[in-house]
Amino acid sequence: MTNYGESAYVSTQSAITLLRCIHRGEIPDIALFYDGDNDVIASYVYGEAGIPHKEETRRAEFDLLDRPQELLQTLGHQLRARNLWGFDRFVTGLRRSFRSPPAPRLQVGPLDDAVARQTLHVYAANLAFIEALGRSYGFESLFYWQPNVFSKQNRSPGEQTAAAGAFLSAEVYDDIYRRLGQSEALNAHPRFRDISALFGDSEAPYYVDGTHLSEPGNRLVAKAMVEDVIALIEQRRSAAAENRATE
């Protein structure tokens, strides 16, 4: 078993990670995907589904060696953050000797209806892409849409604090998760599971913040997955045995 999970990845990045594994000849037997929260946050921040987190940082840093003014500006910001004020003044003065157009600023707006629909469309497209790879390379996939602190009905005092300080409001999550629940295509899919209501009416504290789970919370998520994984392993074993019997 190999964990390819990365911090803050959206489902598109997970699909690309799988493709890169195939490029290297690392073909899985079963690929398991656990998505949801990052897709919603990234759609909100960028106003477009499928965009990775920190995209504004990559845009700012791209090709800096050929953009000296922006390079010095970025360096100056880093120096200020580290309290190296003297060198920062030197960099600021040096930067003024260069002229270049200002970098475009990221436009952040509310998650509107079109972006909400696009978020689920992109997720479904990634699911279809992964399954197409599986048919070509002989592996199976399982997909899980994760819970979040707002999908937990009875929150502990700590979870209430986490919800109050969450990056997005409950309304944004509720809208996406409601649309997901109404998606006939996704919910009819045999390998997709919406486990957003996993914690039900439990008052136990499962969240350490608005997204990340405690060990007991992760244990329940794993328990929700393990029966599917075992059933799929047995299915693959039976298919392999039938193939050997007919050879």
Q: Burial of 44 by CB count in 10 Å (0-12 exposed, 13-18 middle, 19+ buried)?
A: buried
**How many distinct structural domains can be found in the chain?**
2
1 in a structural domain: no
Name the 3-class secondary structure at 194: strand
214 in a structural domain: yes
124 in a structural domain: yes
Q: How many CA atoms lie within 13 A of 36 on its CB side?
A: 29
Q: In 22-97, at which residue ranges do the beta strands (DSSP E only) sit? A: 30-35
What is the rounded distance in angstroms from the CA atom of residue 215 to the CA atom of residue 150?
19
Tens-digit pLDDT profile for residues 29-80: 999 999 999 999 999 888 889 888 777 666 667 677 777 777 777 676 665 6
Which pTM value belongs to this model? 0.79
Which of 61, 78, 106 is where one domain is finished? 106
What CATH number is attached to the domain comprising 211?
A: 3.40.50
Nearest to 210, CA basis, from 153, 151, 123, 154: 151
The reply to whether 62 and 161 lie within a common domain is: no
3 in a structural domain: no
The reply to whether 97 and 195 lie within a common domain is: no
Tens-digit pLDDT profile for residues 128-172: 999 999 999 999 999 999 999 999 999 999 999 988 888 888 888
What is the rounded distance in angstroms from the CA atom of residue 22 to the CA atom of residue 16?
10
The reply to whether 205 and 101 lie within a common domain is: no
What is the rounded distance in angstroms from the CA atom of residue 33 to the CA atom of residue 52?
16
The reply to whether 97 and 137 lie within a common domain is: no
The residue range of the domain holding 70 is: 52-106
26 in a structural domain: yes
Most confident of 55-64, 66-75, 106-115, 230-239: 230-239
Tell which wins on pLDDT, 89 or 240.
240
Q: Burial of 64 by CB count in 10 Å (0-12 exposed, 13-18 middle, 19+ buried)?
A: middle
Name the 3-class secondary structure at 102: coil
199 in a structural domain: yes
Residue 82 in this model has a pLDDT that exceeds 90: no
What is the rounded distance in angstroms from the CA atom of residue 141 to the CA atom of residue 33?
8
pLDDT confidence tier of residue 206, bands split at 50, 70 and 90? very high
The reply to whether 133 and 230 lie within a common domain is: yes
Taking residue 180's Cβ as centre, other Cβ atoms within 10 Å add up to 20
The reply to whether 120 and 225 lie within a common domain is: yes
Joined tokens for residue 80: 């200020």
The reply to whether 232 and 187 lie within a common domain is: yes
Which of 60, 78, 106 is where one domain is finished? 106
Q: What is the pLDDT of residue 81?
A: 58
The reply to whether 97 and 208 lie within a common domain is: no
